[in-house]
Structure 1
Amino acid sequence: MVTDAATFAGGPLARLKAGGRLAGGVAEAARLLGRVRPRAVIGFGGYPSAPAMTAAVLRRIPTLIHDSNAILGRTNRLLAPFVDLTALGLPAPAGTGAGAKTRARLVGNPVRDAVAARARAPYTPPAPDAPIELLVFGGSQGARIFGEVVPAAIAALPEGLRRRLR
């Protein structure tokens, strides 16, 4: 499905143009959904899912959104009151966008067997002088952590420990 999914960043003119592109994307998605006639439409968040999910809601096609984060992303938060089911990857705190019509269910996140097996493995501390591998990851709402929190935390480590980080 190719539909325009616009972000609403920028000034008033840019936002107006984005609204027009989004409306065009919803119209295109509605036409395609009318031809394909799916039994349900599932969205995983992000601006690209907005036109198809909005069109499905308007056409009264059963809808489900899935969010793998602890806090719903902007698109899912806006769609949540209108879709039939919100599948949550993590327990959601209060006020994360589940509207009155929305039924939210904690379903977890799909994880590959190799990743799950590694998570179950016992912790083996590194040797005293061995390198330490540090993996930091986050979603769109966690991006601030990369520029602010992680560098400050690393800077606060003792010099000997910082030198071992890879």
Structure 2
Amino acid sequence: MTKTSSHATQADRPLVYLSCGGTGGHMTPAAALAKALLEHDLDIEIITDRRGLKYKDMFGDLPMMDVPAGAAGAGLMGKVKGAMALASGVWQSLCLMTKNKPACVVGFGGYPSVPAVLAAQMMGIPTLLHEQNAIIGKANAFLAARAKKIAISLPDIKGLSQSEEVKVVYTGNPVRPEIEALRDQDYAAPKDSAPIRIVVVGGSLGATVLSEVVPETLKALPQEYRARLSVLQQCRESDLANAQAAYEGSGIQVDLVSF
């Protein structure tokens, strides 16, 4: 287990663990909740995988730990490796929680969130889940039966049983204060002939559909608009070549980057 930051917790304050998958869709709402909880005199620590540690700047000096976790891979060997990683992560989480005695654990989905939340449920520590999508993800679906509450980002969610649906609370998706502050800024529309800048992000690690649909949609615009476009788009590493080819001949200035 790797731990970052020397932030010290206080024995008289409740400790809350936030357990997150290691990609932005899980880490950013966790960072927003962390900042909100700090205002309520709570100690906060983050549990993720090694990918998640690259988001440490988002959490300031809050301690971050990575524990082993693995999704079930293809074939028998992949499933065995995934199970072994999960077991190791659960064991490390059990040891951590036995020592530090958190008041609760909040899971934000993604397979790296499973070990800590599952360990907490095994110990009788209250757990909450937050689901960012309209269809509950596999990790949260696995943990939902024993969670105390399930917070959702959208008004409706699919994939829960009737007994799990009664635990649902519609909270929306937590947003960091510095992002929320941008909402109050006036939008400065581009002037005639000025560049029109578009940023494309989203999906699971830059879902392939965006690498296909966005170029085709923008290419359908009149040439005078295409000539003004400046597109920054995140794509899966495996989709970069196809996305670049899709923009070829469009006259659109584009910068494609992977995660």
- Normalised TM-score (structure 2): 0.56
CA distance in 2, matches of 1:117, 1:96: 34
CA deviation digits over 1:97-154, x for unaligned, max 9? 3661451111122324453343345555422322111122213186133322212212
SS of residue paired to 1:51: helix
Q: Secondary structure at the match of 1:134?
A: strand
Aligned pairs for 1:75-154 (under 5 A) are 75-93=139-157, 95-97=158-160, 100-101=163-164, 103-121=167-185, 123-140=187-204, 143-154=207-218
**Residue 117 (structure 2) aligned to one of 22, 36, 53:** 53
State how far apart, in whole Å, the 2-side matches of 1:143 and 1:84 are: 31
For residue 97 of structure 1, what is the amino acid of its counterpart?
L
The verdict on how the C-alpha distance between 1:53 and 1:99 changes in structure 2, with shifts beyond 3 A counting, is farther
Deviates more, 1:59-68 or 1:71-80: 71-80
Instruction: Check 1:14–1:113 CA distance in 2 against 1; reply closer, same or farther (3 A cut).
Output: closer
2:73 aligned residue: 9
The question of whether the paired residues in 2 share the 8 Å contact of 1:89 and 1:106 is answered with yes
Q: Provide the TM-score with structure 1 as the length reference.
A: 0.83
CA deviation digits over 1:71-120, x for unaligned, max 9? 33321222222211111222233x23366145111112232445334334
RMSD of aligned Cα (Å): 2.4
Note if 1:24 corresponds to 2:88. Answer: yes
Count, aligned residues = 165
Q: Distance in 1 between matches of 2:195 and 2:69?
A: 44
Alignment CA distance shift 1:123-1:13 (3 Å): same
Q: What fraction of aligned residue pairs are identical, expressed as a percent?
A: 39
4+ runs deviating over 4 angstroms: 120-124
Range with bigger deviation, 68-77 or 118-127? 118-127
Structure 2 segments unaligned to the other structure (5+ residues): 1-64, 231-259
Partner of 1:72 in structure 2? 136
Residue 38 of structure 1: aligned partner: 102
Q: 1:149-164 residue pairs with structure 2 within 5 A?
A: 149-164=213-228
Q: Secondary structure at the match of 1:4?
A: coil
The 1-side partners of 2:126 and 2:180 are apart by 32
- Which structure dedicates a bigger proportion of its chain to strand? 2
